[in-house]
Structure 1
Amino acid sequence: MKPSIKDKVEIAKKYINQGYSVSFVLKIVKLGKSTYYYNLSVEGKEKIKPKGGKPKGYSINKENKIICDGQIKEFIMESINGDAINYGYRKITYHLRKYYNLIINHKKIYRLCKELNILKNQRVIKPKIKRTIAINRIISASNQLWEMDIKYGYIHGEDKFFYLLNLIDIFDRCIVGYYIGLHCEAKDAAALLRQCLIKRNLFEEEAEKPIIRTDNGPQFVSYKFSKCCDEIKVEHERIPVKTPNKNAHVESFHRILEDECLKINEFQTYAEAYETVNEFMEFYNNRRLHSSLKFMSPNEFYNLYFGEKQTNIKMRV
């Protein structure tokens, strides 16, 4: 086995320290002078790992709680739809620190704003999306008003987040459809909306479509989602900034999902999370009783009152 350069340097050092000529020893061990002296100069010095690397995918708030990048993007979109409408990424950084208690620097905000395509010098070329503010409505039947929102789950074994995009019918409380994945974009929200309309036989042009209510997340303010709503003739309304009570039914479902599924399971893999969430969704729609539904499950209530407008059951939302 041929000796390595390190072995040759050690052998050369041994004989040179005994008084032999450097040139003679290096010639015998077949080692160049530059190689020998370079190895002497770096000997004992640890290599410093370069800074940087792949972003973690989350930040910490002042309560030491992990906030994933997807949630931070929602905070950014809420901010620029509210008080921070004319702010650049540096001012947005201070806004998030002050009002959302995030521990975050301007470089990360710049990266997230770039991913959202909302850096200030780019806003002038971004297509303007018509914004319809959510108004108070009285709902008396299924398929009149649907709410859509995103919930984040955490996979401990892989140290990453996954997305749960849920669409709920606020009258019968059914989760009409949901999307689960490691990424969630406008195209996924558009695809879910189409699937839910098909599932309830509302995709045909002459069918009376429900109103879709969302918050101001990047998936819902995008041109792609707005274009999808226009194509399938669905009215899309967005709640005012910082008014989650306007999306109360889907937010209530997310609390149930958190307490009865996500909090009590420590997922090791994405496959495990996917299977567990699917099982919970099946349980919620078909077997979980709701006091607001006369102690029936959502699907049972929907099938019982399918297509009927109720005079004794009305909801103001």
Structure 2
Amino acid sequence: MTRQGRTLTELLGIKYPILQGGMAWISDNGLAGAVSNAGGLGIIAGGSLSAEELQTEIRRIKEITSKPFGVNIMLLSQNIEDQIEVVCREKVPVVTTGAGSPSRIIERLKSSGTKVIPVVASTALARRLEKQGADAVIAEGMEAGGHIGKVTTMVLVAAVASVVKIPVIAAGGIADGRGLVAALALGASGIQMGTRFICTTECSAHHNYKERVLSSNELDTVVTGISTGHPVRAFRNKLTRKIEELERQGNGVEAIERVAIGGLKRAAREGDLNFGSLMAGQSSGLIRDIKSVSELLEEIIGEAEEVIEVLGGIKRW
């Protein structure tokens, strides 16, 4: 049992305290199903999927696995109401949310039996969502890929774990067993990884995207969109440089969105290294191979157990 009460694995009915992040155009039923079958919690990215598309993804994953899975709902999506209706109708076990506060939808999701796990970037939001019924929270640091907050994972996880009693899941900058142990030391009950799962055999992302991750180091990503209030971390390329130029010139959200629109699809499906939005976290600098999801999870757990054993033998100071 953890400080928060029930362990994360007990809460979600999974073997390992590892969640796979919901990455638009990447986290489909194939990847999510493989993660769930391997003992983690696979998550389908709702992204901008239509209700029909999301329903198809959910029904396909049910054919792949009988184990718990989740759906990630981006609160900025124009299809959010339709997606919630599908999630409730299909009795999805878990929903994670991102890009905002899910306050207005928590009760509706929980009434259908769905566990709700929002991404938070501050202690204030974590406290509020706990009171409103969130089952757990994902404390995601600025090292993560995609939409990010302002606080590092090390500080945010420890801060959030200190103010809530529900399980805290650490995200941002984690790609191996060492990261899992570090997260537990900070007070988390488990981890969520996104970038690491791109480099798995079951991930449908274009091979150019995977190779970009494998060839990168911890300094190869850049944060753009700060002036819009929705900063994004991605690999530096012609698209990010264009966005940076627009920001320097004082252009607003609309001008930046015109350039960025379709970038995720170009990256994940077409492998466009120049004008694709190659979202990735700083953990990409730790990733050096492509392996199956089951091999990855077993490796992470094995490494974590080795680290814990070593730490147990360290003399106290």
**TM-score, normalisation: structure 1:** 0.29
Structure label with greater radius of gyration = 1
